[in-house]
Structure 1
Amino acid sequence: MQSLPGLDGQGRWDIPARLNMGRQCLSQRGDALAVIDLTGPSRRDVSFAELGVMVDGLARALLWRVQAGDRVGVLLSQSPLCLAAHLAIWKTGAISVPLFKLFKHDALASRLGDSGTKIVLTDAEGAALLGDLAEAWMADEVGLDGGPVDFADTGADDPAVLIYTSGTTGTPKGALHGHRMLTGHLPGVAMSHDYLGQQGDCLWTPADWAWIGGLFDVAMPALALGVPVVAARMAKFDVAECQRIITAGHVRNVFFPPTALRMLKAADAQIDGLRSVASGGEPLGAQMLDWGREALGVQINEFYGQTECNMVASSCSASFAPQAGCIGKPVPGFEIAVLDGDMPTDGEGEIAVKRGAAPMMLGYWNRPEETAAKYRGDWMLTGDRGVWEGGFLRFVGREDDVITSSGYRIGPAEIEDCLLTHPAVATVGVVGKPDALRTELVKAYVVVKQGAQVSAVALQDWVKDRLASYSYPREIEFLEALPMTVTGKVIRRELKARAMADQTSGLNRK
Structure 2
Amino acid sequence: MSWYDDRPWLKHYDHIAQPVAPPRTTTQMLSEAVASSPDGPAVNYLGATLTYRDVDELSDGIADYLCERGFRPGDRLGLYLQNVPQFVLAVFGAWKAGGVVVPLNPMYRDELVHIFADAEVTALVCGESEWADRVGLRAGEAGVRIVLTASELDLQTTDDPRLFAGRERIRSRGIADLLEVATSRAGRKIVDPGLHPGSVALVSYTSGTSGRSKGATNTHGNLTANGSNLRLLSRVPSGAPIFALAPLFHITGMVGQLLNAVDLASPLVLAYRFEPGVVLDVLRRERPAYMVGPSTAYMALMSHPAFSRDAFSSFRTVASGGAPLPPTVVERFRDATGLYLRNGYGLTESTAATSVVPLGGEAPVDPDSGTLSVGLPLPAALVRIVDEHRHDLGPGEIGEITVEGPMVVPAYWNLPDATSQSIPNGRLYTGDVGFMDADGWLYVVDRKKDMINASGFKVWPREVEDVLYQHPAVREAAVVGVPDDYRGETVAAFVSLRPGQAVEPEQVMSFCRERLAAYKAPRSVEVLEELPKTASGKILRREMR
Question: TM-score under structure 1 normalisation?
Answer: 0.74
Looking at structure 1, the residues matched to 304 and 45 of structure 2 have their Cα atoms a distance apart, in angstroms, of 27
Find the counterpart in structure 2 of residue 335 from structure 1.
382
Are 2:86 and 1:92 equivalent residues in the alignment?
A: no
Find the counterpart in structure 1 of residue 276 from structure 2.
239
Find the counterpart in structure 2 of residue 373 from structure 1.
421
More helix, by proportion: 2
Distance 1:369 1:258, change over 3 A: same
> Of the candidates 423, 433, 436, which is equivalent to residue 385 of structure 1?
433
1:348-359 equivalences under 5 Å are 348-354=398-404, 357-359=405-407
> Of the candidates 504, 507, 510, which is equivalent to residue 523 of structure 2?
504
Question: TM-score under structure 2 normalisation?
Answer: 0.70
Are 2:58 and 1:54 equivalent residues in the alignment?
A: yes
* Residue identity (%): 24
Instruction: State the Cα distance separating 1:245 from its structure 2 match.
Output: 1.2
Instruction: State the Cα distance separating 1:100 from its structure 2 match.
Output: 2.2
User: How many pairs align?
Assistant: 416
Distance 1:305 1:329, change over 3 A: same
- Opposite residue 250 of structure 2, the aligned amino acid is W
1:8-407 equivalences under 5 Å are 11=19, 14-15=22-23, 19-27=24-32, 28=35, 29-38=37-46, 43-64=47-68, 65-104=70-109, 106-128=110-132, 129-132=134-137, 133=139, 134-135=144-145, 136-138=147-149, 139-142=178-181, 143-145=184-186, 147-190=188-231, 193=234, 195-196=235-236, 198=237, 201-234=240-273, 237-267=274-304, 269=307, 270=309, 271=311, 272-309=313-350, 310-318=352-360, 320-324=361-365, 325-340=372-387, 341-345=389-393, 346=395, 347-354=397-404, 357-375=405-423, 379-389=427-437, 390-401=439-450
Find the counterpart in structure 2 of residue 440 from structure 1.
478
- Opposite residue 295 of structure 1, the aligned amino acid is A
- Opposite residue 506 of structure 1, the aligned amino acid is V
Instruction: State the Cα distance separating 1:290 from its structure 2 match.
Output: 1.8
- The alignment partner of 1:118 has SS state of strand
Looking at structure 2, the residues matched to 192 and 442 of structure 1 have their Cα atoms a distance apart, in angstroms, of 35
Instruction: State the Cα distance separating 1:437 from its structure 2 match.
Output: 4.2
Q: C-alpha offsets along residues 263-283 of structure 1, whole Å, 9 cap, x if unaligned? A: 233347333322111001233
Instruction: State the Cα distance separating 1:499 from its structure 2 match.
Output: 6.5
Distance 1:360 1:497, change over 3 A: same
Looking at structure 1, the residues matched to 255 and 271 of structure 2 have their Cα atoms a distance apart, in angstroms, of 16
Q: Please report the RMSD computed on the Cα atoms of aligned residues, expressed in angstroms.
A: 3.0
- Opposite residue 379 of structure 1, the aligned amino acid is R
- The alignment partner of 1:277 has SS state of strand
Looking at structure 1, the residues matched to 491 and 418 of structure 2 have their Cα atoms a distance apart, in angstroms, of 28
Instruction: State the Cα distance separating 1:144 from its structure 2 match.
Output: 2.7
Q: 5+ unaligned residues in a row in structure 2: which ranges?
A: 1-12, 150-177, 366-371, 453-467, 495-519, 528-543
Instruction: State the Cα distance separating 1:71 from its structure 2 match.
Output: 0.6
Instruction: State the Cα distance separating 1:252 from its structure 2 match.
Output: 1.9
Looking at structure 2, the residues matched to 157 and 337 of structure 1 have their Cα atoms a distance apart, in angstroms, of 25
- Opposite residue 241 of structure 1, the aligned amino acid is V
* 2:276–2:300 contact (8 Å) kept in structure 1: yes
Q: 5+ unaligned residues in a row in structure 1: which ranges?
A: 404-433, 446-481, 485-492
Distance 1:60 1:483, change over 3 A: farther
Find the counterpart in structure 2 of residue 456 from structure 1.
none
- The alignment partner of 1:160 has SS state of strand
